[in-house]
Structure 1
Amino acid sequence: MSRPGFVRRHPFSTVLLLLLALLLGWVWQERVNLQAFPDIIGAYTAKEYCSCRYVMNNDVAYCQGYVKQWVPGSLLDDADGKRVTASGMGRTHSAQWIGERQGCRLSP
């Protein structure tokens, strides 16, 4: 009489191990995109707030509520220079209003 194998004795553990292996494979395959994600979030927040505030001329409270949907972090609005600095997920990015026709641009 043969003894049942690991898969038969632990079907849930087997499924969990397979799912973990698939997840690790996906993370490895998408590692470049996953590393870029924190930069994308901060830059997107700065650009969206700048556009909301200086291109669309919305008030501060509206634009803060609009970008707060995307990322919890800090936001610095320099109204005199029309420059916005947003921090989120450990990264900081700035956007500045260029003009009516150009709108806002990410700053280096």
Structure 2
Amino acid sequence: MTADVGAQLRKGVVEYCVLGLLARDPMYGWQLADELTSHRMIASIGTLYPVLARLREKGLVTSYEQPSASGPVRRYYRLTAAGETQLAVFRQQWGPFAATVSDLTGGESS
């Protein structure tokens, strides 16, 4: 049961984690996947592309191609203005939300 809870929690926030990473700098898919898998937010790079497709459909990220010195052209992703706004809203709501859940479940608050 614990794994199911963790998977549901990750599924609910992974899009915002992608937005947060892209707020730092544009990144290509492999960079994003590496960062997210190292933090156990996604299982593999194959999990990332549907997330990126949803974010593009929502107008929160855009992509562009850039040549790579070490191989083929890479597709980079960056936030749009709408993505920046959505991330700001999430950041405002996350702290109070997490604190409320912690309070209601008897956990430690941040």
TM-score tier after normalising by the smaller chain length: 0.3 to 0.5
In terms of fraction of residues, the more helix-rich structure is 2
In terms of fraction of residues, the more strand-rich structure is 1
